[in-house]
Structure 1
Amino acid sequence: MDAAPNIVPFDPIITQQDRHIMNAHKSGLVWFSGLSGSGKSTLAHQVEAKLYQKGIRSYVLDGDNVRSGLNSELDLSPEGCRENVRRIAEVAKLMVDAGILVFAAFIAPYEESRRFVRELMAGWSYFECYVKCSLEVCEQRDPKGLYRRARQGEIRNMTGISAPFEEPANPDLVVETDQYVLDACVERVVDFLNQQRLIILR
């Protein structure tokens, strides 16, 4: 039985704007997309740490962390990847409504999925950050040994090896982690958040 006709969303008393006033900063979603090993999680967590020191309420939704819980049953097939992105986008939207600045660090290899997130967040503060790093450098880093195992045939549907990564065509921000040191990349993201008026740091 379809439950949709019986679902009536409750109108909140406290709004997103109320939370922005309480926090003294806006909420929003920044989606860090890029190959495994490009530095998405490292960058997102370092930005979170810097903002924490400034009293900014933010939170990182990390790919491996989410797949170890909420999305633990999903595989790496195209369908599994799309559902992974869909679920985390819905969770992130709730967190943005709660007044939090959310950083989602997920490969999100398909343009279709990234377009879904952008459409879902229409009217909300949403920005796509392409963490750009060459496959060669990502393989050299290989912090989890995934590329090595994929080359040996132990992992199927490995993005960049046996599965595609559709490079973002029009991201809001590009951070080249194979060209700049981590501190410079963090500053680039923080400066961008300032420019978008999500935060105000002096």
Structure 2
Amino acid sequence: MSMYVFKDKQRKIKFYAKDATKENRDIRFYCPNPYCDAHMYICGVDGLSAAYFSANRQNHPHINGCSYGSPNNFNASEYDENAFDFENVLEALMTPSQSTIRKETPGPHKTGDPTKKPFRTIRQVYDMCKSFDPADTYSGVEIGQMIVDDRSEYMYPKGVFRKRIIEGQAKGQFYNSIKKEITISAPIKSRKYSFVLNAQGA
């Protein structure tokens, strides 16, 4: 599933699902992954839900490991983009639910459509990020500035210094029970960086 594809095999002409019409339903588009020859078609242009692209032809699926072929439940029509704030979402996810932190002077916050749901899990934000090109923006923030993966690696030539969603794999001994640490390498293809996650207080 993807919110964009390419019209040409050379991947020069980008085409977004939001710009598609019913007339585009039988047109074959190209997967954003230049190594994947999946035949992408527009879905959901009937107005009942947000349009998206999918490789829904049995004989032309995504190659194994293609990030655009992974299960993705992101539906743009269910979320209010104007109310999304990446930093606030990450902060809320890392704050224990039983404690409430109040600021002396509340900062400005975004308001949005109350009929649409907010992002509540890392998976929801991850699926959103994987649906767009890293150079695209969501609520004014570049996708590549929210997720570190094979596509956005070029945006991090010297390291990752702020909170980001990291797509990586286990490196060597995945879990060190003595240090209570988990080590992963990212991005998946280059394994350029190593990240160590440890339990608080360890």
Fold shared per TM-score above 0.5: no
TM tier, smaller: under 0.3
Whose relative contact order is higher, 1 or 2, with alpha carbons under 8 Å and at least 6 apart?
Answer: 1
- Length-normalised TM-score, structure 1: 0.27
Higher strand share: 2
Q: Which structure has the larger Rg over C-alpha atoms?
A: 2
- Length-normalised TM-score, structure 2: 0.27
